Structure 1
Amino acid sequence: MGFDLELLLHDVITVAIAFALAFPIGWERGRGRHSVGFRTLPIVAIAACGFALVVDTSSPANAEAQARVLQGVVTGIGFIGGGAIVKQRGNVKGLVTAASIWNAGAIGVAVGLSRLNIAIVLSAVNVLTLWTLAYFNIRGDEDSSED
């Protein structure tokens, strides 16, 4: 077990990219009165990226090991997202935030597995969806950022 400065620099840059791609989503989700996203979503992305980096560098040719790690990441992120969902007086709140948390995990995994193109698309589509579709909120909620 040695210290590799070049690998460290690569990993720091990779995790920073995952953070940067999830940050706009977290920023948008963090604007509501009951925000969850400003810090949570980038941390979910970097954690998922970390898991992907570990499995990619320790077992790059072992698809079964990668699948098990990804399954655990997806399950864990689903659990975190489930905590963002609240039912109040017959209304369900937090579904968009929960979906964004799940997407932040996918962004982190994509970056960690060197699929930057997928991560960029996921981030851009998530942010654009949050920004543009808020104007078409069918329920007419006063604060669409609470979804």
Structure 2
Amino acid sequence: MDIVIWKELDLLLRLFAGMAAGIVVGWERTNKQRAAGIRTFGLVGLGTAAAATIFSAPDETDAASRVVQGLLTGIGFLGAGMIVLRRGDTTPQGLTTAAAIWVTAALGCAAGLGDHAIVLTATLLALVLLLINHSAERLAGRDAER
């Protein structure tokens, strides 16, 4: 009976970790008034964690590898939907949100496979990158007119 309870708690932790990572990234995107926010990113993290968890047993590494490959390839289509080039603009909009969606999918996969150190560390690093404002990019040589 105790083994069943621990398995259920482990499952909940994996799913929650994926969703929480997505919520953290989505919170930042929501604060910057982007189209995709807390709910979208939370669902991406939860969904990829759930899919990766299905094949997370030690004897299913090949299946887990294929699931992760498929998820990270497929999520690119969701991210591509975030990228737009408006009439009159010279640069596309939504690239950072698209990249954040892809990173969130990777975070969800790591959570689903039970690698909580990667989830925590990569979520914090993603948040740091997202919090860097455009003034840092201008210091690196990017034009201010965008």
Q: Distance in 1 between matches of 2:124 and 2:7?
A: 28
Deviates more, 1:61-70 or 1:102-111: 61-70
Q: CA deviation at 1:141?
A: 6.6
User: What are the within-5 Å matches in structure 2 for residues 74-85 of structure 1?
Assistant: 74-85=72-83
Q: Which residue of 2 aligns with 1:31?
A: 31
Runs of 5+ unmatched residues, structure 1: 143-147
Q: Distance in 1 between matches of 2:110 and 2:130?
A: 21
Paired amino acid for 2:82: A
Following TM superposition, where does structure 1 have runs of at least 4 consecutive aligned residues deviating by more than 4 angstroms? none
Residue in structure 1 matched with residue 51 of structure 2 by the alignment: 51
Alignment root-mean-square deviation, CA = 2.0
Per the normalisation by structure 1, the TM-score is: 0.82
* 8 Å CA contact retained: 1:37, 1:97: no
Q: Percent identity?
A: 29
Q: C-alpha separation between the residues in 2 aligned to 1:37 and 1:134?
A: 20
- Compare the two structures and name the one with the higher strand fraction: 1
Q: Map residues 1-147 of structure 1 onto 2, 5 A cutoff.
A: 4-57=4-57, 60-88=58-86, 89-138=89-138, 139-140=143-144
Residue type of the alignment partner of 1:10: D
CA distance in 2, matches of 1:39, 1:114: 22
Q: CA deviation at 1:121?
A: 1.4
The alpha carbon displacement at 1:33 in A equals: 4.0
